[in-house]
Amino acid sequence: MGGVSARARRENVIRAAIAEFAIAGHHGTTTAAIAERVGVTQPYLFRLFRDKRAIFVAALVRSAEDTRLAFERAADGVEGSERALQVMADAYARLISTQPETLLMQMQGYLAVAAAEAQGDDLIGEVVRAGWTSTWEAVHVALGADGEKTAGFFACGMLGNTLTAIGLPVNAWR
């Protein structure tokens, strides 16, 4: 990775970590696997991140940002209109079909919250809740601050997430 800035390497590590954590979760993923995927040594990972937990947190943050940004970009210029809901749903469908690790990383985050908090670690929960809240707010604004539309959007989205994660077609029951 010669000639690549530390910032770009950090981003590459986060993207590699998302791919690894999405499949094996926080406890099942090794830093060796992340380092191998990105093409750096483990010691280099720890120059960029304090520990595996810090890498996991960065992956959670990036995954949530990717989702929020997909909604914001899709709704740009159509906020508050009937079209906003459809363009955001389409954008999310594209995101999880082209980058399924984004969805799986989010789900790994949801799973990790209870386990971490049972061990007295509140950071994972704080990060996951902040990402969720940020995404909710972006969608809520795009849907004209309509609470029922926002709740319905997320309810359908979570159903779609579940169906996708277990390998069923999203439109199976329409």
User: Are 122 and 104 contacting, i.e. CB atoms less than 8 angstroms apart?
Assistant: no
Instruction: Specify the pLDDT at position 163.
Output: 87
- The length of the chain is 174
Name which of 60, 93, 61, 97 is nearest 74 in CA terms. 93
User: What is the band of 140 on the pLDDT scale with cuts at 50, 70, 90?
Assistant: very high
Provide the whole-model pTM. Answer: 0.92
pLDDT in tens, 58-114: 999 999 999 999 999 999 999 998 899 999 999 999 999 899 999 999 999 999 999
Q: How far is CA 90 from CA 7, 59, 95, 134, in A?
A: 31, 24, 9, 19
Average pLDDT of the segment spanning 145-174: 86
| Residue 116 structure tokens | 């971490």
d(CA 23, CA 53): 16
State the pLDDT at residue 41. Answer: 94
> What pLDDT is attached to residue 69?
97
**Phi-psi map region of 145: left, alpha, beta (phi>0 left; psi -120 to 50 alpha):** left
Residue with tokens 């594209």, as numbered in its chain: 94
pLDDT surpassing 80 at residue 3 = no
Question: pLDDT at position 59, please?
Answer: 98
Residue 173 in this model has a pLDDT that exceeds 70: no
Cα–Cα distance list, 6 to 3, 52, 145, 148, 172 (Å):
9, 18, 40, 44, 45
